[in-house]
Amino acid sequence: MSHFVAVDLSHASRLINHGPTVLVTSAHGGRANVMAAAWSMPVEFTPPRIAIVIDKKTCTRELIAASGAFGVCLPGTTLIDLTYAVGSTSGREVDKFERHGIRTRPGPVLGVPLIESGCAAWLECRWLPEPRAEDLYDTCFAEVVAAAADPRIFSEGHWTFRDDNAELQTIHHLGGGNFVCAGGTRKAAALP
């Protein structure tokens, strides 16, 4: 039983609007993989579309090309070590789900394996093949077909970062295993 709540697709871009580091999940023909990605962004609100950089040599790219789908899961602060670990090993050498005891549930639309425990949210994505961007820039485009979040930190289309949900707050990779965690929230005031 999931504790996540569906996110309206019109709000899906907000899940990654602030640049969190994410876990990319994929599966095909009995194989599955998870990797970390610091380089992703929304590209469109409606329909919700994203771009994400996934090296063409990775096992993940192979699984995405075969299945036409992938998941984007947002790890909270308790998953910093796990995020770095799955970003430093290849799915060709090890079953990372088994090695780290990561549980998944199938996405509602495409059946992509999605991680909820320790995560703030996920987006289930349908790959939009763009050979040139993929070849030249390792940039993959996708449409978000379902999204859900832990309502303790994201509900009704809005993030709420509080002291009592610090463990679910997003992490942002600076490089070399150093992450900056989401801090205080500030509301912009109107300028004259």
State the residues that interact with a copy of itself by CB under 8 A: 13-14, 17-21, 38-44, 49, 51, 53, 77, 80-85, 100, 130, 132-133, 136-139, 141, 157-159, 161, 169, 171-191
For 136, the token pair is 């030249």
Q: Per DSSP, what are the bridge partners of residue 5?
A: 149
With tokens 């899940």, the residue in question is: 15
Query: Minimum Å distance from CB 78 to a copy of itself?
Result: 11
Return the number of the residue (106 or 157) whose C-beta is nearest a copy of itself: 157
Query: Minimum Å distance from CB 111 to a copy of itself?
Result: 26
Return the number of the residue (22 or 69) whose C-beta is nearest a copy of itself: 22
> DSSP string of 26-49?
EEETTEEEEEEES-EEEEETTTTE
Nearest CA to 144 among 113, 129, 114, 123?
Answer: 123
Return the number of the residue (44 or 109) whose C-beta is nearest a copy of itself: 44
